[in-house]
């Protein structure tokens, strides 16, 4: 009897651990969703008080918060375009061509992913101080920083997609009278596009959520994470949870939306 | 057979019909913008930071290059406890992330079946919402006198943790080293899981069958077959967790107390809120950067660069 | 775009391809008559695929020239050559449906109205009902036919097939071999088929070129190559051969005599590649008969005496014998099962055959060349 129970436990221990860890990962998101419907008892939305949709109805009760969101989104869009463009080109070069500096560039691309954010921000600030002066810190220095640290992630994502592509396809296109430009437009690009989109999404998420590098290079600007961090000491309104929940729901919708074509394809076949 | 560029026969005369391959400039054109961006905004700043770290002055008077290398020793002596905290928390965080992340990655890679992608999305999706807000959510879960805290107090676990120095705030879970490490593990787990999963996913499951055929029990198969093959992923995951964790301070700020201060906070304070802290902050930044470079180069020396990206 | 109008035989002159110090294709000279079905046959690594890629333009030659008719296409880009390829892994575009895959070449050349042509081509390969499907939804055999259709629809001067049947199971492969041959006869285009499967080559091709280490060993019709191989490689690679080393003893009119291990073997002088010195006599196993030692042998036949049967395998259609000869060599004999006695292992036998079925090769060659190349391993 006991050995049977032990056997069951052994077989399922991996499953149990996995479930627990997944719950661990999801728990804060659940709390965030739930507490967005809370009416905080005081200035901190930490304890459940009573149900209220007030925060959802008045998301911009604090105008500072909403202007910081607007700034974060604007920065994220521009940084995404920049990082995706630059990173995709690099990914193509790395996957499709041979060149001498390959190893060095591999390391150069890896470092921003591995380095602590605080050092990248700090060194960048000293660079700006010495070139454009501390007064010029602001919107564009944030964008520059965001493109800098997103670049490597874009390269990794696009590279993965590109490497998985059958190399004979481009040869087949050339065999069928497609010039290099036509081959790129009609064969390569459509097949890599999912990777590029995923990279753009990743870049957007990294930008909109960044605190450490941003706060060091922001000058007087205030992005959303900066707002949350700064106001943390004296208040945590439910609106914060509303914004977080919205971001989560948009992400989940995006993931679900990306799966739809796949599901339709398998249904039809 | 990989297509190498056609090489002209040494001494052969270029007859009609013999092909000549130009040095293809395309890869360099593609690489240039991105690489230049990183050189300009990642590499060069490291050098300016070194220069900044040996300056003195203040925001009012301006900073001048005085080659004050003593900035480094001052920094280390003044902030040695913060440095110790950073190291301790990030080591603990990395180890825990590995202990939790490995089974998770293993399960998804080998038992995930057609749910693989969905499960990995679940692991990563939370990371797409503001991590500041999610960290704040732990304030609720681990709240003082909240259900979780009270439960752990009842089973005396909190006494044990306090004994180990993990709890400093009157046996409350929050505002303690425990909470900081806990938050770090939460935030960095996906960083560990992703490379681990990538590495495990590449392992041919028939190798497990081969192991079983050759007298390995479940555990032995893991020990002798899976674990060695997953090592690149383990190392990559460790690198991508430990190094960023050393510089992280959000968790220390939100879930910790003045006693859990880490060097990230020091750098931010010195850089943004101190009159003359700019050289100090730069010095710490340089130390962290050099440390990072050394670790990465050591890894590259052992394992080469192709697996990095 | 004048190279598109190139018409005529496919001709390569002195075609060479080197990768560093390795020579993949060594000074190849070849003419493929327009409208013929030509096979490049050889084991993996012999250079046949490299040659194909150079003809298609996907690989640049180190030296040499390629002509279609009188037009030199050596330095023409692949998308400007009137040449199309059926790739080994099909290389169908996964993001396009079958219709668009087949129409791809037409569209790139600016053809606006593709529907009729695509429809006709899909009908030719019997896939009209799958036009809207994606490649991943098709079976291997169907994908293969789409690949053929996609190439064929452009009516190229030369259609190149790079081991296209390798991934198919045996039955399907046989079917497709007949299909492709039928299509080729119908459309009258030049087909160049690269394969390591000698049965496939012999079934489909009008002309076969056997390649080995970047060179052509022999080129000719399947019958010619099989019945009258020019080198030990061809003799061993194409089917099986019994090769015995000897020396030319004399010539009498049209007949050559070779002395081998104490036996005198006669063969027509026209079927021997040397007139004096070391020679290797060869005869195909199915041409050889066994007689019990001491039994009467019809006059005028070549005889090897003193053999002992070491193996007798009943295959159904035939019995395949291995006979150990006094000089240590094991010779193969295939006897059709038309009622004669089976010689059991251990029996003493003599081998005899028609002198006219013998072929003679230069004795300085490696007698084992081409013998141990495994078809399965080569794929």
Beta carbons of A232 and B34 less than 8 Å apart: no
Selected from 1.10.3720.10, 3.30.420.40, 3.30.910.20, 3.30.70.1230, the CATH number assigned to the domain covering B79-273 reads 1.10.3720.10
What pLDDT score was predicted for residue A267? 64
CA distance linking residue C89 with residue C96, whole number of Å: 17
Give how many domains chain C has, as a whole number: 2
What pLDDT score was predicted for residue B306? 67
How does DSSP assign C327-356, residue by residue?
TS-EEEEEEE-SSPPPPPTT-EEEEEE-GG
Other C-beta atoms lying within 10 Å of the C-beta of residue A132 = 12
Q: Tell me the average pLDDT across B101-109.
A: 91
Q: Is C179 left (phi over 0), alpha (psi -120 to 50) or beta?
A: alpha
Mean pLDDT, chain B, whole residue set: 81
Give the closest-approach CA distance of A5 to chain B in angstroms. 18
Mutation pick from A165, A168, A176 vs chain C, by most beta carbons of C within 10 Å, is A176
C346 and C220 assigned to the same domain = no
CA B92 → CA B89, B100, B188, B244, distances in Å?
Answer: 5, 12, 12, 13
Compare A3 and B37 and report the one with higher pLDDT: B37
C18, C60, C64 ranked by CB distance to B21: nearest:
C60
**Sequence-ordered list of residues with C-beta below 8 angstroms from that of B18, at least 6 positions apart, any chain:** B8, B12, C61, C62, C63
Give the closest-approach CA distance of A106 to chain B in angstroms. 6
pTM to 2 decimal places: 0.79
Mean pLDDT, chain C, whole residue set: 90
B106-112 contacts at long range (C-beta below 8 A, 24 or more positions apart): B106/A14, B106/B200, B106/B226, B107/A14, B107/A15, B107/A17, B107/A18, B108/A18, B108/B197, B109/B197, B109/B200, B109/B201, B109/B203, B110/B200, B110/B205, B110/B208, B111/A14, B111/A15
B7 close to C (CB below 8 A): yes
CA C26 to chain centre: 19
B188 close to A (CB below 8 A): no
Q: Tell me the average pLDDT across B276-281.
A: 83
C220 and C256 assigned to the same domain = no
The fold of the A63-236 domain, in CATH, is MetI-like fold (1.10.3720)
C17, C20, C75 ranked by CB distance to B17: nearest:
C75
What pLDDT score was predicted for residue C311? 94
CA distance linking residue A186 with residue C93, whole number of Å: 10
> Comparing C-alpha atoms, which of B85, B42, B76 is closest to residue B249?
B85
What pLDDT score was predicted for residue C264? 92
* pLDDT surpasses 90 at B52: no
Instruction: Give the pLDDT of chain A (269 residues) as one tens digit per residue.
Output: 777 777 777 668 888 888 888 888 888 888 888 888 988 888 888 888 888 888 888 888 887 889 999 999 999 999 999 999 999 999 999 988 888 888 899 989 999 988 899 999 999 988 998 888 878 899 999 999 999 999 999 999 999 889 888 889 999 999 999 999 999 999 999 999 988 988 998 899 889 989 999 999 998 999 999 999 988 888 888 888 898 888 888 877 877 776 676 666 666 55
What pLDDT score was predicted for residue C218? 94
pLDDT tens digit string along C6-51? 888 999 999 999 998 899 999 999 999 999 999 999 998 889 999 9
What pLDDT score was predicted for residue C153? 92
C39 and C115 assigned to the same domain = yes
Q: Tell me the average pLDDT across B59-70.
A: 76
Compare A44 and B24 and report the one with higher pLDDT: A44
CA distance linking residue C78 with residue C151, whole number of Å: 13
What pLDDT score was predicted for residue B308? 66
Beta carbons of A177 and C108 less than 8 Å apart: yes
pLDDT tens digit string along B118-177? 888 888 877 777 888 888 888 888 888 777 888 888 887 777 777 777 777 777 788 888
Where helices occur in B202-270 by DSSP H, the ranges are 206-213, 218-221, 227-247, 250-255, 263-268
Q: E strand or H helix at C49, and its extent? A: helix C48-56
- pLDDT class of C318 with cuts at 50, 70, 90: very high
pLDDT tens digit string along C49-84? 999 999 999 999 999 999 999 999 999 888 888 999
CA B164 → CA A213, B154, B160, B171, C252, distances in Å?
Answer: 34, 18, 6, 12, 107
Q: Is B108 left (phi over 0), alpha (psi -120 to 50) or beta?
A: alpha
- Ordered by start, the domain boundaries in chain A are 1-61+239-269, 63-236
> Comparing C-alpha atoms, which of C299, C300, C298, C255 is closest to residue C275?
C255
B197 close to A (CB below 8 A): no
**Sequence-ordered list of residues with C-beta below 8 angstroms from that of A52, at least 6 positions apart, any chain:** A37, A38, A39, A238
C180 and C124 assigned to the same domain = yes
Give the closest-approach CA distance of A123 to chain C in angstroms. 45
C196 and C291 assigned to the same domain = no
Mutation pick from B3, B39, B94, B128 vs chain A, by most beta carbons of A within 10 Å, is B128
Contacts of B278 in chain A (CB under 8 A): 126, 129
- Ordered by start, the domain boundaries in chain B are 79-273
Q: Phi, psi (5° rounding) for residue B117?
A: -65, -40
What pLDDT score was predicted for residue C2? 61
Beta carbons of C87 and A168 less than 8 Å apart: yes
Beta bridge partners of C71: C68
Question: Distance between the two ends of chain B, CA-based, in angstroms?
Answer: 24
What pLDDT score was predicted for residue A257? 75
Longest dimension (CA), chain B: 91
Beta carbons of B18 and C63 less than 8 Å apart: yes
Compare B46 and B76 and report the one with higher pLDDT: B46
Enumerate helices (H) and strands (E) in chain B, giving the number of each.
15, 2
C195 and C237 assigned to the same domain = no
Q: E strand or H helix at A140, and its extent? A: helix A139-163
Contacts of B28 in chain A (CB under 8 A): 93, 99
Beta carbons of B16 and C65 less than 8 Å apart: yes
What pLDDT score was predicted for residue B273? 82
Chain C: touching chains (3 or more CB pairs < 8 Å):
A, B
> Comparing C-alpha atoms, which of C51, C72, C71, C46 is closest to residue C61?
C51
* CA atoms C353, C356, C362, C366: torsion sign: negative
What pLDDT score was predicted for residue C373? 66
C152 and C248 assigned to the same domain = no
What pLDDT score was predicted for residue C377? 43
pLDDT tens digit string along C81-125? 899 999 988 889 988 999 999 999 898 888 889 999 999 999 988
Tell me which range, B43-52, B90-99, B257-266, is most confidently predicted by mean pLDDT: B90-99
C236 and C128 assigned to the same domain = no
Q: How many residues does chain B have?
A: 309
What pLDDT score was predicted for residue A78? 97
**Sequence-ordered list of residues with C-beta below 8 angstroms from that of C321, at least 6 positions apart, any chain:** C290, C309, C311, C312, C313, C332, C333, C334, C335, C343
Compare C306 and B9 and report the one with higher pLDDT: C306
Beta carbons of B132 and A110 less than 8 Å apart: no
Q: Decide which of C192, C227, C262 is a domain's last residue.
A: C227
Beta bridge partners of C192: C38, C160
Nearest CA in chain A to C54: A175
What pLDDT score was predicted for residue B7? 32
Beta carbons of B6 and C17 less than 8 Å apart: yes
- pLDDT class of C379 with cuts at 50, 70, 90: very low
What pLDDT score was predicted for residue B118? 81
pLDDT tens digit string along B279-307? 888 888 888 888 888 888 888 887 776 66
Contacts of A169 in chain C (CB under 8 A): 91, 93-94
Beta carbons of A228 and B136 less than 8 Å apart: yes
C57, C79, C151 ranked by CB distance to A179: nearest:
C79
- pLDDT class of C146 with cuts at 50, 70, 90: very high
Q: Tell me the average pLDDT across C220-233.
A: 94
C158 and C27 assigned to the same domain = yes
> What is the domain extent for residue C316?
232-378
A94, A229, A245 ranked by CB distance to B132: nearest:
A229
Q: Tell me the average pLDDT across C318-332.
A: 94
C56 close to A (CB below 8 A): yes
What pLDDT score was predicted for residue B72? 85
- pLDDT class of C1 with cuts at 50, 70, 90: very low
How does B292-302 read in b/e, with b if 16+ C-beta sit within 10 Å?
Answer: beebbeebbee
CA A212 → CA A117, C250, C354, distances in Å?
Answer: 6, 96, 92
C214 and C270 assigned to the same domain = no
Q: Which of residues 140-159 of B touch A (CB under 8 A)?
A: 140-141, 143, 146
What pLDDT score was predicted for residue A57? 87
> Comparing C-alpha atoms, which of B129, B126, B308, B118 is closest to residue A204?
B129
Is residue A186 within 8 A of residue C87, CB to CB? The reply is no
* pLDDT surpasses 70 at B18: no
CA distance linking residue B45 with residue B53, whole number of Å: 12
């Amino acid at each position: 009897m006991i050995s049977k129970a032990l056997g069951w436990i052994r077989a399922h221990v991996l499953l149990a651990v996995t479930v627990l860890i997944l719950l661990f990962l999801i728990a804060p998101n659940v709390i965030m969703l739930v507490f967005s419907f809370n009416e905080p008892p005081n200035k901190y939305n930490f304890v459940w008080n009573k149900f209220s949709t007030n925060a959802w109805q008045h998301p911009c009760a604090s105008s500072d918060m909403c202007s910081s969101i607007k700034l974060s989104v604007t920065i994220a869009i521009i940084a995404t375009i920049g990082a995706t463009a630059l990173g995709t080109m690099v990914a193509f070069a790395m996957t499709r061509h041979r060149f001498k500096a390959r190893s060095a560039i591999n390391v150069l691309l890896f470092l921003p992913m591995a380095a602590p954010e605080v050092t990248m921000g700090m060194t960048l600030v000293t660079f700006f101080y010495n070139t454009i002066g501390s007064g010029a810190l602001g919107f564009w220095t944030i964008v520059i920083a965001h493109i800098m640290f997103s670049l490597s992630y874009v390269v990794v994502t696009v590279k993965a997609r590109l490497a998985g592509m059958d190399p004979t396809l481009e040869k087949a296109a050339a065999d069928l009278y497609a010039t290099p430009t036509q081959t790129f437009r009609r064969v390569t690009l459509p097949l890599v596009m999912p990777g590029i989109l995923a990279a753009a999404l990743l870049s957007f998420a990294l930008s909109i959520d960044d605190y450490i590098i941003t706060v060091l290079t922001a000058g007087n600007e205030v992005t959303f994470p900066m707002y949350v961090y700064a106001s943390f000491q004296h208040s945590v309104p439910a609106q914060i949870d509303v914004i977080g929940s919205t971001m989560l729901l948009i992400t989940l919708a995006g993931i679900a939306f990306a799966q739809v074509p796949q599901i339709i394809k398998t249904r039809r076949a | 057979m990989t297509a190498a560029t056609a090489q002209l026969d040494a001494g052969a005369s270029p007859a009609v019909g013999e092909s000549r391959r130009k040095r293809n400039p395309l890869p360099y054109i593609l690489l240039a913008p991105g690489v230049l961006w990183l050189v300009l905004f990642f590499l060069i700043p490291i050098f300016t930071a070194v220069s900044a770290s040996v300056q003195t002055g203040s925001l009012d008077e301006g900073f001048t290059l005085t080659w004050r290398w003593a900035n480094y020793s001052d920094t280390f002596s003044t902030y040695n406890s913060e440095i110790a905290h950073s190291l301790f928390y990030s080591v603990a965080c990395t180890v825990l992330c590995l202990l939790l992340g490995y089974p998770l990655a293993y399960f998804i890679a080998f038992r995930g079946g057609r749910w693989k992608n969905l499960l990995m999305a679940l692991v990563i999706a939370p990371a797409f919402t503001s991590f500041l807000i999610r960290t704040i959510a732990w304030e609720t879960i681990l709240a003082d006198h909240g259900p979780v805290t009270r439960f752990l107090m009842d089973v005396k676990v909190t006494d044990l943790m306090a004994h180990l120095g993990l709890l400093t705030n009157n046996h409350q879970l929050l505002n303690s080293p425990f909470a900081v490490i806990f938050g770090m593990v939460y935030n960095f787990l996906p960083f560990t899981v992703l490379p681990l999963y990538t590495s495990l996913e590449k392992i041919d499951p028939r190798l497990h069958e081969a192991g079983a055929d050759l007298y390995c029990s479940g555990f032995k198969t893991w020990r002798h077959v899976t674990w060695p093959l997953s090592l690149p992923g383990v190392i990559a995951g460790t690198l991508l967790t430990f190094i960023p964790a050393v510089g992280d301070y959000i968790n220390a700020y939100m879930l910790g107390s003045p006693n859990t201060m880490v060097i990230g906070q020091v750098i931010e304070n010195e850089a943004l809120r101190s009159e003359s802290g700019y050289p100090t902050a730069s010095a710490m930044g340089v130390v962290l950067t050099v440390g990072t470079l050394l670790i990465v180069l050591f890894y590259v020396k052992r394992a080469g660069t192709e697996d990095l990206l | 775009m004048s190279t598109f109008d190139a018409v005529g035989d496919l001709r390569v002159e002195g075609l060479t391809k080197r990768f560093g110090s390795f020579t993949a294709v060594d000074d190849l000279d070849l003419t493929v008559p327009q409208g013929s079905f030509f096979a490049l046959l050889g084991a993996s690594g012999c250079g046949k695929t490299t040659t194909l890629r150079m003809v298609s333009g996907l690989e640049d030659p180190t030296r040499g020239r390629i002509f279609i008719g009188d037009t030199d296409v050596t330095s023409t880009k692949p998308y400007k050559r009137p040449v199309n390829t059926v790739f080994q892994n099909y290389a169908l575009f996964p993001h396009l449906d079958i219709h668009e895959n087949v129409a791809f070449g037409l569209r790139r050349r600016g053809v606006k109205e593709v529907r009729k042509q695509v429809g006709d081509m899909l009908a030719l390969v019997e896939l009209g009902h799958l036009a809207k499907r994606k490649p991943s939804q098709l079976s291997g055999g169907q994908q293969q036919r789409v690949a053929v259709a996609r190439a064929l629809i452009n009516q190229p001067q030369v259609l190149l097939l790079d081991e296209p049947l390798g991934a198919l199971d045996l039955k399907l492969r046989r079917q497709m071999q007949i299909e492709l041959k039928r299509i080729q006869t119908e459309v009258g285009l030049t087909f160049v088929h690269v394969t390591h499967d000698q049965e496939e080559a012999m079934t489909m091709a009008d002309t076969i070129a056997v390649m080995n280490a970047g060179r052509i060993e022999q080129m000719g019709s399947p019958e010619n190559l099989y019945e009258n191989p020019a080198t030990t490689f061809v003799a061993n690679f194409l089917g099986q051969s019994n090769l015995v080393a000897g020396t030319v003893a004399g010539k009498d009119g049209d007949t050559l005599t070779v002395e081998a291990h104490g036996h005198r073997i006669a063969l027509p002088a026209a079927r021997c590649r040397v007139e004096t010195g070391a020679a290797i006599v060869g005869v195909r196993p199915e041409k050889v008969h066994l007689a019990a030692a001491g039994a009467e042998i019809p006059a005028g036949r070549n005889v090897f005496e003193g053999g002992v049967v070491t193996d007798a395998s009943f295959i159904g259609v035939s019995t395949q014998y291995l006979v150990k000869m006094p000089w240590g060599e094991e010779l193969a004999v295939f006897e059709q099962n038309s009622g004669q006695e089976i010689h059991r292992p251990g029996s003493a036998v003599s081998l005899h055959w028609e002198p006219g079925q013998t072929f003679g090769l230069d004795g300085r060659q490696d007698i084992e060349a081409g013998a141990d190349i495994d078809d399965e391993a080569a794929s």
